[in-house]
Amino acid sequence: MQFISSVSSIEYCVKETINLYPKHPLATWCRKQRKRKIYLSGTINESKLIGLIDDKEYESWRCILGVRNALVHNNGIADYDRTYQIDGMTVSFVKGKMLRGKLDFFVKLTEKVTDLYYSWIVKLAK
């Protein structure tokens, strides 16, 4: 629950942070979404498109959001096949199988998402 709560808090903070920079391209993108809800995954995709995050950060975000979504929406069971590498840790999604990891799996992912958010917010503020 710590991991899910952390990602959800970051999702909220990302939206609030973008509002602090109304002239930033991400704020413009958010305004164009108007009636559509702004999700963290869409914001991360747009951040990649405008060069705010690099390929490695993008893949880490995709993995973390995939884990969070599998846990919240699918009881931890993957609905696609994909393997990610995050800071020396392998995260494997196997369709129809529950995600597995060592005891520190969620601690490491929580630390990584916090670092990714910090990096994102520093770049946004520049």
CB atoms within 10 A of CB 86: 18
- Rounded to whole angstroms, the Cα distance separating 57 from 101 reads 21
Range of the domain at 24: 2-125
- Please tell me the distance from the alpha carbon of residue 54 to that of residue 109, in angstroms, as a whole number: 18
Domain count of the fold of the chain: 1
Point out the residues of the chain with pLDDT beneath 70: 35
